[in-house]
Amino acid sequence: MRMAIEEAKKASLIGEVPIGAVLVKDNKIVSSAHNMPIKLNDPSAHAEINVLRDAGEKIGNYRLNECNLYVTLEPCLMCFGACIHARINNLIYASDDPKSGVITSNLNLVDETFLNHKISITKGVLSEESSQLLKAFFREKRVKN
């Protein structure tokens, strides 16, 4: 999770919302990424999507079985759907997202029976550090505007 937080800091430095993600397989980092929708003019360029795309290329398969995804913020609907499609084993996230999180904050998609893959969820890992990054980012944005 510390590496995901470092990725989040990279996002903040380029004016993106500070969210970072790291994908691990067999205790080895496969890929790390951060938010880049503004830079790439791509609404899907969330940290989770970026790390899944890169990992899929590196592994040579979109199915990322036996992989663990660490992310600094509870995933949105799009990102959680991509995690299911990629067959991620474990999703570990730092902070809840009361605006668009779909794991526990707004929806509880993890327990939905219609999903064809179940992901093990762990939340709250380095939550305070992740929350502080987000708060500082938006506080600075408000001051600039």
Q: Are 102 and 109 in contact (CB under 8 A)?
A: yes
DSSP state, residue 110: G
Active site residue 48: yes
Catalytic residue among 48, 66, 112, 128: 48
β-strands 67-73, 90-95 pairing: parallel
Exposure b/e, 111-140, CB count within 10 A at least 16 = b: eeeeeeeebebebebbbeebeebbeebeee
* Active-site residue set: 48
